[in-house]
Amino acid sequence: MPELGWYKAAGVVALAVLAGCATPAIAAPSSAATYTNPLLQSGPDPWITQVDGVYYYTHTLGNRIALWRTDNIARLAEAKQVVVWTAPKTGPNAHSIWAPELHRIDGKWFLYYSATASGFTDDSHRGVFVLENDSADPMNTEWTDRGRINTARPGIDGTVFSHGGKRYFVYSPYTETDTSLAIAEMKNPWTLAGSETIIARPDQPWEQQGGRKIVEGPEFLPGPKGDLFLTYSASACWSDGYSLGLLHAAPGSNPLDASVWKKSPQPALKAANGVYATGHNGFFVSPDGKENWIIYHANPGPDMKCTPKRAPRIQRFDWSKDGWPQFGEPVATGVALPVPSGSR
């Protein structure tokens, strides 16, 4: 989750240091054809968009949004970051800038991010906001603030996807169970149309680790046979049990119907091989379109909580014969892996 401020309610000290956190450089891989995890030594809530062989990367920085651009994901640590937007000193989106996502919609760029109103640190003053840029280059710093998405509840971790000719918005609203997952149809990239539907609540023990009941960070994944999948992060991010859950809807389902979404009984990706607190993911395809990849953050050791030590990791995944994603286990730190196919 985009973490930090709201954990005061759980007796955890807010880690506002992230707002000024720089990304330390790490040694480049020995070969341009391989990479090792983590890609950076720091990078909570990572996100990658790959377009025409170019990777655009971002992660939580607390008071601003920056983009990295590279044509070789193995050398992300060498890429220059450009701050494309800085939070205002006052207003509804003044601080706790979390979980940015870059999307290309109808020929324009949009940045979705979570933020909190000035003067507040409580959950009821958090929301999902949108920036728009009609430039061909998202590194352009002339972004238009489209304001807060008109969600029915305060919440965080908004994402968008298109399906069946319609666009949908999914986020993590604050509800009676700390957080849930809700979906709504969109009128345009910054406005919801119609009512919201709660599609998941944290009703499993593995979604209740760390003293809170949490499902957050939803991400859409279309299946090769027409199935709809949504991953999400489960439990409190300061827990080593922070993991990825999976929702499934059969082909032809109406995403707004809560009954079509079925939850996998166990996490789809969880701690293993010395990698802990695997959560807040995204998806991208290789430059040649032949491989599916997941990006997520994790800690390199146990009991490391919600700190800037959470770092971005990527790995390839495949599909089962039934069309379900097979993420496997997190790859251990330092293991050399092939870069996405078709990379320059």
Could you give the residue numbers annotated as active site?
45, 216
Torsion angle in degrees (nearest 10) through CA of 318, 214, 159, 342: -30
Give how far the C-alpha of residue 79 lies from the chain's centroid of Cα atoms, to the nearest Å. Answer: 20
- What token pair was written down for 211? 């003293």
Identity of the amino acid at 53: G
DSSP three-state, residue 70: strand
Contact 247, 199 (CB under 8 A): yes
CA distance 83 to 64: 7
DSSP annotation of 237 reads T
CA distance 64 to 87: 6
CA distance 50 to 64: 22
Give how far the C-alpha of residue 60 lies from the chain's centroid of Cα atoms, to the nearest Å. Answer: 10
Contact 244, 279 (CB under 8 A): yes
